[in-house]
Amino acid sequence: MGTVFRNPAFVTLLVVFGLLAVVAAILVPWGPPATPSRAAQLAAVAKLPPEVVAAGKAFAAATRPGSYLSMGIGLVVALVLGLTPIGATIVAACGRVFGGHWLAEAVLGGLAIMIISQAVTLPLSAWRHTILVRYGMSTQGWGGWIADVARSYAVTIVVGALILAAFYGLTRLSPQQWWAWAAGGAAVLVMLGSAVYPILIEPVFNSFSSLDDGPLKTELLEMAERDGVPVGDVLVADASRRTNAVNAYVSGLGPTRRIVVYDTLLTKPDDEVVSVVAHELGHAKNGDVWIGTALGALGAAAGVCLLALLGTATGFLRRLGIDTITSPRGVALLLAVFAVVGLVATPIQNIVSRSIELRADEHALELTGDPDTFIRMQTTLAETNLSDVDPPVWLHWYFGSHPTTAQRIALAEGFPW
Ligand SMILES: [Zn+2]
């Protein structure tokens, strides 16, 4: 126990956790407003059309088993590859094609492990697609679906190869201090990723165009002006090529920041679109992408420190056929660690996300001063997206990135506070 406190990676990990706690305490809005009471939520559900509530429950019941199974299988496969010698064996085999060169092991071996881990859940993704089609949510045929899968694999291969080559190159350049460089590099990469995501990754999946000039655009830009949020343009994503769901979001940092609405949203009444965009302006005004990025950057740095600590368990590594944690043969172990960390981090991320979303809802209500349209918009969203308006509490605690429809309507019912 005494030695771990003298390990610089452990000390750094404690410092990063401290920073995470401070950033989360200061920047995440912990209320008010508080999440509405259970009684207020139930009253909100009672006022919704029963067929909307029933459709959301039916869709959730159809899709949840596949999602859980997919999570479970993904985790089991990551653990089997990472915690047995199988992972190291696969990486070594990939390296042998190029005479056992470290770069071949790192990139080909690493990608092989990543692609196996993704591919095992592909049948469940296909099953999910059939459910989405049956419920009228997906507008894609198999051709479009396969093209999407191919795009996402291409992104994994390109981004994965760059990160694997950089990480294992770094461990060779600095065999002792690699973890400090990698922790800093991971944090910078998260920030950079957040900034370039809208211009490098989003266009792989969708086309974006400027919202057509007209009364709606004028109203949205005027509202942004009134809100003190400089918005040059509102972008429309061609989401209808794969879904009937409606959505809007803010992405990017600084010069790449943008407000995007799905083209499917534009089929809804203008005042409901205004209400949605008012919520997104809340994210832009409060710098929510910055908050998420800062927490993500610190989390990534913490993950690297954790790997360095794991590297001290040399006996354990040897049993897996790995000399050191910095050997490409250990890539499956690293991915297994990240899979477990992700499982623990998911509910924490969602607690933070729900607080941020609640503040954006509050902002939308204050900016528009129109709770009735907000409630109608939430009803439309639930109806179109087949949302479970009041999911089981523990499920929502773990998986819910936004307040539930019941909570959001109850919030508006209580406005002004
Ligand atoms: Zn939001």
Long-range contacts of range 315-324, CB-CB < 8 Å, 24 or more positions apart? 319/85, 320/82, 320/83, 320/84, 320/85, 320/87, 320/88, 321/85, 321/88, 321/89, 321/92, 322/88
Predicted model pTM: 0.92
State residue 1's pLDDT score.
52
Q: Tally the C-alpha atoms within 13 A of residue 8's C-alpha that lie toward its C-beta.
A: 7
Q: What phi-psi label fits residue 48: left (phi over 0), alpha (psi between -120 and 50 degrees) or beta?
A: beta
CA 40 / ligand 1 centre spacing (Å): 22
Give the chain's mean pLDDT.
Answer: 95
pLDDT, tens digit, 9 for 90 and up, residues 292-339: 999 999 999 999 999 999 999 999 999 999 999 999 999 999 999 999
Q: Which of 188, 191, 187 lies closest to 302 in space, CA to CA?
A: 187
CA 259 / ligand 1 centre spacing (Å): 11
CA 248 / ligand 1 centre spacing (Å): 8
CA 161 / ligand 1 centre spacing (Å): 32
CA 116 / ligand 1 centre spacing (Å): 33
Q: How far apart are CA 254 and CA 197, in angstroms?
A: 12
CA 405 / ligand 1 centre spacing (Å): 13
Residue 166 corresponds to which tokens in the numbers above? 């950089």
CA 258 / ligand 1 centre spacing (Å): 13
CA 401 / ligand 1 centre spacing (Å): 9
Which residues lie near ion ligand 1 (Cβ < 5 Å)?
357, 360
CA 6 / ligand 1 centre spacing (Å): 43
CA 249 / ligand 1 centre spacing (Å): 7
CA 265 / ligand 1 centre spacing (Å): 15
CA 278 / ligand 1 centre spacing (Å): 10
List C-alpha distances in Å: 259 to 153, 211, 333, 346.
Answer: 26, 11, 38, 25
State residue 233's pLDDT score.
85
Q: How far apart are CA 191 and CA 250, in angstroms?
A: 15
pLDDT, tens digit, 9 for 90 and up, residues 197-211: 999 999 999 999 999
CA 361 / ligand 1 centre spacing (Å): 8
CB under 8 Å to 36, separation ≥6 — which residues? 44, 407, 410, 411, 413, 414
Question: Which residue, chain included where needed, has tokens 């499982």?
Answer: 343
CA 280 / ligand 1 centre spacing (Å): 6
pLDDT, tens digit, 9 for 90 and up, residues 25-56: 999 998 778 889 999 999 999 999 999 999 99
Residue type, 232: G
CA 165 / ligand 1 centre spacing (Å): 35
Q: How far apart are CA 150 and CA 141, in angstroms?
A: 14
Q: Which of 391, 384, 307 lies closest to 350 in space, CA to CA?
A: 391
Q: What is the dihedral sign for C-alpha 182, 186, 188, 193?
A: positive
Q: What phi-psi label fits residue 386: left (phi over 0), alpha (psi between -120 and 50 degrees) or beta?
A: left
CA 168 / ligand 1 centre spacing (Å): 37
CB under 8 Å to 210, separation ≥6 — which residues? 233, 234, 235, 236
CA 69 / ligand 1 centre spacing (Å): 28
CA 283 / ligand 1 centre spacing (Å): 7
Q: How far apart are CA 374 and CA 44, in angstroms?
A: 13
Q: How far apart are CA 143 and CA 190, in angstroms?
A: 33
CA 246 / ligand 1 centre spacing (Å): 13
CA 158 / ligand 1 centre spacing (Å): 29
CA 358 / ligand 1 centre spacing (Å): 8
State residue 232's pLDDT score.
75
CA 360 / ligand 1 centre spacing (Å): 6
CA 296 / ligand 1 centre spacing (Å): 17
Residue 177 corresponds to which tokens in the numbers above? 């201090």
Q: Tally the C-alpha atoms within 13 A of residue 152's C-alpha that lie toward its C-beta.
A: 11
CA 199 / ligand 1 centre spacing (Å): 20
Residue 373 corresponds to which tokens in the numbers above? 């349209």
Return the H-helix or E-strand segment holding 84: none
Residue type, 252: G
CA 139 / ligand 1 centre spacing (Å): 24
Whether 265 and 271 have beta carbons less than 8 Å apart is answered as no
Whether 139 and 146 have beta carbons less than 8 Å apart is answered as no
pLDDT, one tens digit for every residue, the chain (417 residues): 567 778 999 999 999 999 999 999 999 998 778 889 999 999 999 999 999 999 999 999 999 999 999 999 999 999 999 999 999 999 999 999 999 999 999 999 999 999 999 999 999 999 999 999 999 999 999 999 999 999 999 999 999 999 999 999 999 999 999 999 999 999 999 999 999 999 999 999 999 999 999 999 999 999 999 999 878 789 999 999 999 999 999 988 888 888 999 999 999 999 999 999 999 999 999 999 999 999 999 999 999 999 999 999 999 999 999 999 999 999 999 999 999 999 999 999 999 999 999 999 999 999 999 999 999 999 999 999 999 999 999 999 999 999 999 999 999 999 987
Compute, in degrees rounded to 10, the torsion defined by CA atoms 379, 381, 382, 384: 120
CA 389 / ligand 1 centre spacing (Å): 16
Q: How far apart are CA 312 and CA 298, in angstroms?
A: 22
